[in-house]
Structure 1
Amino acid sequence: MSTLSLAHVPYAAPRRSTVRLTRRGRVVVFVVTLLAVMAVGFVGASISGASQEKGVGVSTRTVVVGTGDTLWDLASDAADGGDIRSMEQTIKDLNGLDSGMLIAGQTLRIPN
């Protein structure tokens, strides 16, 4: 049987910070942090794209996507000889679509 000997390692107590905040100091730090957060919120709100003007409503109809239907087909029907790509983008915007992929049975709003 062997014995294991460990060298004695002296314990070093953790050093305490020399900075100590009083109750008033903690309140000041809290208030300054709160004001900074509020300032960031106000700046973010002023940058937002919202406006006081009402948007122009688009007259729409509801279409259920059938098997084999594509967004291009639906846009070309709705465009009535106009710009199909622009109509395709309008349909995407109205329905919150990220891509042109459609699923059979999906309900879409199409401009009249």
Structure 2
Amino acid sequence: MSTITFTPQVSYSARQVRLTRRGRLVVFGFGVLLAFALGVWFAAGSVATQDAGVKQVEVVTVAPGETLWDIAADATAVTGEGDVGAMVERIQEMNSLDSRMVLAGQTLRIPTD
């Protein structure tokens, strides 16, 4: 008896893809559009506001006999600002105070920046 063996012959033809001028323009345009879309998607998480950021504050309890001027003077010594009157106004504005009168035991927010 004789034996026959078959060897499969696989032939691969190398195909080259050639882009025309219009094809290159389409591929470039798609790349630019994709980059723009990714930029918009990443930028969607950022939010800009008119506020400068979170104000740094310290909460102080008014001691008996202490005035708003005393508290502002202590705050200017900490922050390095020299104008106590301006600090009094900032404290009034920050705490929504109608007058410069404070009561013992009252808590005030004092700017520290």
Q: TM-score, normalised by structure 2?
A: 0.50
Inter-partner Cα distance in structure 2 for 1:69 and 1:111: 18
1:44-59 aligned at under 5 Å gives the runs 53-59=50-56
CA shift, 1:54, in A, is: 2.2
Distance in 2 of aligned mates of 1:87 and 1:58: 14
Q: Does 1:65 align with 2:59?
A: no
Letter in structure 1 aligned against 2:71: L
Matches within 5 A, 1:1-112: 53-80=50-77, 82-112=82-112
Match of 2:27 in 1: none
Displacement of 1:77 in angstroms is 0.5
Identity %: 44
Distance 2:98 2:53 in 1: 22
How much does 1:68 deviate?
A: 0.3
Q: Which amino acid aligns with 2:105?
A: G
Name the Cα RMSD after superposition. 1.4
Shift of 1:86: 0.3
Q: Which has the larger radius of gyration?
A: 2
The 4+ residue runs of structure 1 with deviation greater than 4 A are none
Segments of 5+ residues of structure 1 without an aligned counterpart are 1-51
